[in-house]
Structure 1
């Protein structure tokens, strides 16, 4: 089987925007998510998205496997990993609690919105890499656009949605399920955030940026004419986030440009060659 480009699925969101046009996506309306890869149809437990948050997302949490099964909301949890692709100078995320709170206090705070004052509000920069394990309360802030790698689950429990209206109605909250899913002792440290461009500036062009239980991620930067030979020893999903280059497999050459996601199927004893043309930056995801 040859490497192939995926066909993205676009989802309009109340908080979406138009920046996916910068990634050569043919979109109309306020698109919040471009689902680049959904591995469930191939038996690969990964989903990859480009997310454009032009407004604050809801304060939310994802369950782990045990909690999802208990609520009959699937059979796996939902850990996530973000790489910031674009943001405003003062952009931020909400990421874990800023203190130790019991669940009764958290529940009360969801009712009046004061839960936002209990969360770490963290300024972010382009290139920041952020891991969000299941059970961590979080939200993308206004202006943040990310590459997202996640487990293959669609389950999100909203705690607070800014009292905004969607088509004249408030969106559904899932407070009881969310409270049960929260792991208030998940430790969050700013030192856990790494930045791909800071590492690149120090001469690192092939970087492991995520090595977690359910998925792994690498960042690669290839300058003009530089190449990397990649073994096809497992399924790899490559998403170009800057520039363009080429992917050679046997006698086939594929153009790889910003916004493309390419699946490299497992093929024992085979390899691909990826070549920078000008400059190519991409993220590689594996299980």
Structure 2
């Protein structure tokens, strides 16, 4: 069966720090009133695979599509242990997330086969100017002993570099960077296919459902924390404007590339024989590929398999897309 641009149904997760913005942002409904912290929009994480939303492969999981012939999906890019290597999600932080850290590949491999580290990047979609903060890396001069002492006195956030983000800011976080997402933020995140998080401090809160604090992983987190990692600042995008299309290069690392494209005129996404995922974060229109058109609107993600290659976005209004790629 020929492949085509694959759109996926989001997987919503309930989190005590979450809000209620994500279903409407993704043009979906949910049948419960619990706080929703994340929407996984492209996932090959064990136990949480994305499912194709429409077309001949509707209902098929990303795992099943990928396992049939990985090369048709990723082309010449690497797929460690036969898994799609990226996890894409939206986050709605009504409250602060924990102060946390993620392992690198070598540290994660010690946990067992099929475990990967977590290098990630965020893009700020909405924020509250009065209350929103991002915490990323240690403040200047903070040592490992300073941080350990702050954990003991429950003042860990004060040891981290923090700032009020602007809408559009992109932050790149290598594995080992101690970080936290503050309150009243809506973010897009791209990361390695990994769900390993070590909580170091959780703002002394209690889970209303259990009446207990959430589990911390202080020893594991300290073993993974990079104490040489100072303040992390928003990236300075490489901007190019041509034919009405604004292209911003945000991240190019060993695990993924991230670019932001904005235009009211038709423009190309993807590339021949390369795998890309495009995520609409503003506006709506259509995606044209091989003579067929597919609707695309805020919150949609389309996977463009290497077999499909490039496609054309035809905006109905000005559209902003985030395009994630795999290094070759």
**Shift in Å, 1:73:** 8.5
CA RMSD, Structure 1 to Structure 2 (Å): 2.1
In the alignment, what sits opposite 1:30?
A: 35
**SS of residue matched to 1:150:** strand
Matched, 1:120 2:161: yes
**SS of residue matched to 2:293:** strand
Residue-by-residue CA offset, 1:110-153 (whole Å, 9 max, x unaligned): 13211111111111011000001111110110011100000111
**If the length of structure 1 is used for normalisation, what is the TM-score?**
0.91
**SS of residue matched to 1:278:** coil
| Runs of at least 5 residues in structure 2 that lack an aligned partner in the other structure | 46-62, 67-82
**SS of residue matched to 2:9:** coil
**Shift in Å, 1:199:** 8.2
Identify the structure with the greater strand proportion: 1
Matched, 1:263 2:303: yes
Q: Residues 251 and 83 of structure 1: is their aligned pair in 2 closer, same or farther, counting only changes over 3 Å?
A: same
Give the one of 204, 219, 226 matched to 1:176.
Answer: 219
Distance 1:274 1:26 in 2: 26
Q: Which sits farther off after the overlay, 25-34 or 232-241?
A: 25-34
Residue-by-residue CA offset, 1:147-173 (whole Å, 9 max, x unaligned): 000011100000000111112111000
**SS of residue matched to 2:152:** helix
**Shift in Å, 1:281:** 0.8
Contact 2:101–2:177 (CA<8 Å) still a contact in 1? yes
Give the one of 194, 209, 222 matched to 2:263.
Answer: 222
**Shift in Å, 1:187:** 3.4
Contact 1:11–1:33 (CA<8 Å) still a contact in 2? yes
Distance 2:250 2:191 in 1: 14
Distance 1:250 1:60 in 2: 44
**If the length of structure 2 is used for normalisation, what is the TM-score?**
0.80
Q: Residues 234 and 162 of structure 1: is their aligned pair in 2 closer, same or farther, counting only changes over 3 Å?
A: same
**SS of residue matched to 2:316:** strand
In the alignment, what sits opposite 2:228?
A: 185
Contact 1:232–1:265 (CA<8 Å) still a contact in 2? no
Contact 2:102–2:221 (CA<8 Å) still a contact in 1? yes
In the alignment, what sits opposite 1:3?
A: 5
**Shift in Å, 1:232:** 3.6
Distance 2:295 2:184 in 1: 30
The correspondence of residues 240-251 of structure 1 with structure 2, limited to 5 A, is: 240-251=280-291
Q: Residues 124 and 149 of structure 1: is their aligned pair in 2 closer, same or farther, counting only changes over 3 Å?
A: same
**SS of residue matched to 2:283:** strand
**SS of residue matched to 2:117:** coil
Distance 1:249 1:233 in 2: 14
In the alignment, what sits opposite 1:17?
A: 19
Contact 1:130–1:194 (CA<8 Å) still a contact in 2? no
**Shift in Å, 1:195:** 6.7
Distance 1:182 1:120 in 2: 15
Residue-by-residue CA offset, 1:19-75 (whole Å, 9 max, x unaligned): 111331323431100000014523221000000000000000011112222344853
Q: Residues 187 and 162 of structure 1: is their aligned pair in 2 closer, same or farther, counting only changes over 3 Å?
A: closer
Q: How many residues align?
A: 281
Contact 2:140–2:231 (CA<8 Å) still a contact in 1? no
Contact 1:228–1:275 (CA<8 Å) still a contact in 2? no
Contact 1:74–1:153 (CA<8 Å) still a contact in 2? no
